[in-house]
Structure 1
């Protein structure tokens, strides 16, 4: 199975001066093209011994400080990031033949910032953050549903749900961001921003 990509070439002169500005442009393009969940990204982590794992999560914020997602800190990714903060993100925008690949360092955001986001979540999602002990083994689906039902009775709609102490935000501060645009004959454009001595430079990679 192989598809020929047909798209406009990406030249260095067209890029923003720094990667977050370029990411904002491409993210807007993906949203305008109705890419399903353009904020969905694959987060890859590894243990200190180098054993990798990956999963899809949703990007919730991005700005000049980096990329933010939320998780249970006791989950597999939370534990791996606590032990080894190096992380990779991949945004797979297949319908427009684009990808963005980020490498960087992860750290927890402040509790005030976490609480502000938690309050913006739907009531059911707030309860779900308590009901699921993410990445742990559970006996059955019924057990998970029972936990949720107990929380729903304890915190009915309109009742403030406290922020779980083990749940919060992770900010990924990038040190390299690659913008990949597919082209015919596998001659794709790969433009990568690399941070050196506090300054971003752009390099072109062979496809």
Structure 2
């Protein structure tokens, strides 16, 4: 049976280790170290991350989005504010991000509070996008039910005509979010499932506390 075949799949992780003595004091800085190492490892879609939000009925809801910026505030991504995730964030600003870089046997989990980025930040990123992506932001009523693919392509053609002789400005329903972390966990795979898990916890004094979690 397939379930038995799935249960038999296993890999032992032996590449690297992670200790309290070889991480930096700030999780954003530590993430930058790991992210640069992931880039050097030539990982495909290195900035792909799972974004988990909370539905109105209380169920979690997750999808892959792309990290598009990082600063002292947190982890940035862009989307349609009227999309399902946009509406869920508006109702409940608590969210989780997960990065998985299998080639390095690493995982990073971020739990935090999501806030909208300001208009200038959203404009700056939108203006840096390829023309097709700009048109796409105007074309798609993201997460809404549509009749068929042909409807979407017709809408794209209309938007191309609309902006044929004028700049493609950012639609008001599209922009950036930033996930401001309250916990960040760095997971390094180890042999025999005795993985290294180093977690940063934001204290009431707005300081980062570093702890080790059992695998």
Q: What TM-score bracket applies, with the shorter chain setting the length?
A: over 0.9
Pick from 191, 195, 199 the counterpart of residue 202 of structure 2. 195
Measured in 2, the distance between the counterparts of 1:113 and 1:63 equals 12
Q: Which residue of 2 aligns with 1:92?
A: 100
Matched, 1:39 2:15: no
Q: Which residue of 2 aligns with 1:135?
A: 143
Counterpart mapping for 1:34-183 below 5 A: 34-156=42-164, 159-183=166-190
2:16 touches 2:189 (CA, 8 Å); kept in 1? Answer: no
CA distance in 1: counterparts of 2:36 and 2:193, whole angstroms: 25
Q: What is the aligned residue count?
A: 206
Unaligned runs of at least 5 residues, structure 1 = none
Q: 2 CA distance for matches of 1:60 and 1:160?
A: 23
Name the CA distance, whole Å, in 2 between partners of 1:53 and 1:44: 5
- Residues 148-177 of structure 1 show CA distances to partners (whole Å, capped at 9, x for unaligned) of 111112223x84102111101001000000
Contact 2:201/2:208 (<8 A) preserved: yes
Question: Counterpart of 2:5?
Answer: none
State the secondary structure of the residue aligned to 2:87: helix
Q: Secondary structure in 2 aligned to 1:138?
A: coil
What's the CA shift for 1:7? Answer: 1.7
Task: Give the corresponding residue for 2:4.
Answer: none
The runs of 5 or more residues in structure 2 that have no matched partner are: 1-8
Q: Which residue of 2 aligns with 1:2?
A: 10
1:100 counterpart SS class: strand
Cα deviations by residue, 1:110-164 (Å, 9 ceiling, x for unpaired) = 01110011000000000000100000001000000111111112223x8410211
C-alpha root-mean-square deviation of aligned residues, in Å?
Answer: 1.0
TM-score, normalising length: structure 2: 0.93
Task: Give the TM-score normalised by structure 1.
Answer: 0.97
Distance 1:134 1:56 in 2: 14
